[in-house]
């Protein structure tokens, strides 16, 4: 069965990659209709619903014999663009070469769509139906530009179709080698986004006489220097606290304890420390700046844009306090341009227990650790819409580790080891039985 499932998942992924769904424009319809036909034939009730005819979302339900929890396997099938000239295989070839499937979406995240759908098909075709609760397979469009026509639209317009108690999505699962161990990250939370502009003012003048004006751009220099010198103080939320503990880095006593834990991690494993650090607090990254329109005019105003990420559950007031802590109170104005509070699911749950048990069986000696994403996925939308839902990012890979997969996402030569397709599809098949038959 395992070999068949790996083969089916591989072929399905190749098919999905060959449908170009670069977003914009997305054009996911043909791909979605193909999946819908397969799922319907296997016995699922399937709905295609979208804000635009060319961009339907897919919801497939396998009803259980009795009431129980709804498990949702979620994925998105749009991708970012790809520049074919930079690739060693055409990004829409879906080539199978060297033990990998190559193409845009091979990691983010048509691979997970393929594994989830192949697992669901194999269960349904074998005659399996949930004893308690429903199995949902939800495949959305439009994630790569924020999900407005995908997860957000479905949760707003068709909440009854997609409501669920457990959700598995992208965001975690690649094995992390650490101190001789094999750790699997389960993503339990996502940071919020509080992007802002900083404005400074001065007086215009001819640039040939610098002191005749008051240069607004120069007033950015100390602000930039402060952001270069440090990040705001830590805000340790549940996920990262549990992560540090499972790395053997217990945090004792407030902020000093977090810094001490991070320093020990840096000494042990600087690569992992680099990834863990942003999970521990508000981060500030200045990315864009504007001054004068003309080379010979001293700017009377300047604008700086900062991408600011905030731990789950913390809002504008908290973000502002952390920003002021670095930038100071005076010499600039600040306006938020985008505000979204991050959210989280409990670290401990039935879903987490089932993941832990599965890995003990299927990769003995490995361990599960909670992680949080500095970015965000559709999980955030589901957590907001269904506050009781336990949503995790988890797609187990063992043959390619986190340091091998991460640089390929949104990059050239994106590819996945076919053994990981089999591994993940087996996980999704087993987890359905475990959660819905138990």
Residues that bind Zn ion (CB under 5 A): 108-109, 170
**Tokens 């399905």 correspond to what residue?**
12
Residue with Cβ nearer Zn ion (356 or 408)? 408
Torsion (CA) 35, 38, 42, 48 in degrees, nearest 10 = 40
User: Nearest to residue 278, comparing CAs of 335, 240, 247?
Assistant: 240
Read off the tokens for 335: 């306006």
Read off the tokens for 411: 């990059």
Q: How far is the CB of 13 from Zn ion (least distance, A)?
A: 15
375 three-state secondary structure: coil
Q: How far is the CB of 302 from Zn ion (least distance, A)?
A: 35
Torsion (CA) 385, 135, 147, 388 in degrees, nearest 10 = 20
Q: How far is the CB of 318 from Zn ion (least distance, A)?
A: 27
Residue with Cβ nearer Zn ion (73 or 227)? 73
User: Nearest to residue 433, comparing CAs of 203, 152, 124?
Assistant: 124
Q: How far is the CB of 108 from Zn ion (least distance, A)?
A: 4
For residue 243, the number of C-alpha atoms closer than 13 Å in the C-beta half-sphere is: 29
Residue with Cβ nearer Zn ion (9 or 377)? 377
Q: How far is the CB of 63 from Zn ion (least distance, A)?
A: 29
Report d(CA 170, CA 114) in Å as an integer.
Answer: 13
Q: How far is the CB of 172 from Zn ion (least distance, A)?
A: 12
The closest residue (CB) to Zn ion is 108
Contact 331, 202 (CB under 8 A): no
Residue with Cβ nearer Zn ion (74 or 109)? 109
**Rounded-to-5 percentages of helix, strand, coil across the chain:** 40, 30, 35
Residue with Cβ nearer Zn ion (170 or 303)? 170
Residue with Cβ nearer Zn ion (189 or 282)? 189
């Amino acid at each position: 069965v395992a070999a068949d499932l790996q083969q089916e998942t591989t072929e399905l992924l190749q098919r999905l990659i060959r449908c170009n769904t670069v977003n914009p424009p997305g054009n996911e319809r043909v791909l979605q209709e193909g999946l819908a036909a397969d799922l319907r034939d296997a016995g699922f009730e399937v709905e295609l619903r979208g804000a635009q005819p060319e961009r339907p979302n897919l919801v497939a339900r396998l009803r259980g014999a009795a009431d129980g929890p709804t498990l949702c396997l979620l994925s998105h099938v749009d991708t970012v663009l790809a520049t074919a000239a930079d690739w060693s295989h055409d990004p829409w070839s879906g080539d199978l070469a060297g033990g990998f499937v190559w193409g845009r979406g091979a990691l983010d995240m048509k691979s997970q769509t393929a594994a989830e759908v192949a697992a669901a098909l194999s269960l349904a075709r074998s005659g399996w139906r949930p004893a308690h609760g429903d199995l949902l397979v939800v495949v959305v469009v439009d994630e790569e530009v924020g999900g407005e026509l995908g997860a957000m639209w479905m949760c707003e317009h068709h909440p009854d179709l997609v409501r669920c108690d457990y959700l598995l999505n992208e965001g975690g699962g690649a094995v992390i080698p650490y101190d001789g161990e094999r750790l699997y990250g389960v993503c339990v939370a996502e940071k919020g986004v509080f992007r802002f502009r900083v404005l400074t003012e001065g007086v215009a003048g001819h640039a040939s006489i610098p002191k005749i004006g008051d240069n607004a751009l120069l007033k950015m220099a100390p602000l930039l220097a402060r952001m270069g010198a440090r990040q705001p103080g830590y805000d340790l939320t549940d996920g990262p606290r549990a992560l540090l503990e499972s790395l053997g880095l217990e945090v004792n006593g407030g902020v000093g304890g977090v810094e001490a834990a991070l320093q020990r991690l840096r000494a042990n494993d600087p690569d992992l420390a680099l990834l863990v650090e942003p999970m521990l607090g508000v981060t500030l990254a200045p990315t864009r700046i504007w001054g004068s329109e003309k080379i010979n005019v001293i700017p009377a105003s300047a604008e700086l844009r900062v991408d600011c990420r905030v731990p789950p559950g913390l809002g504008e007031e908290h973000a502002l306090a952390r920003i002021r802590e670095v930038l100071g109170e005076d010499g600039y104005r600040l306006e938020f341009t985008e505000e979204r509070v991050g959210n989280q699911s409990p670290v401990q749950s039935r879903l987490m227990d089932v993941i832990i048990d599965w890995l003990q069986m299927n990769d003995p000696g490995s361990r599960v650790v909670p992680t949080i994403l500095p970015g965000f996925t559709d999980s955030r939308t589901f957590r907001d819409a269904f506050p009781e839902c336990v949503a995790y990012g988890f797609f187990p890979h063992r043959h390619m580790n986190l340091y091998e997969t991460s640089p390929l996402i949104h990059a050239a030569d994106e590819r996945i080891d076919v053994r990981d397709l089999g591994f993940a599809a087996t996980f999704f098949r087993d987890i359905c039985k475990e959660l819905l038959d138990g």
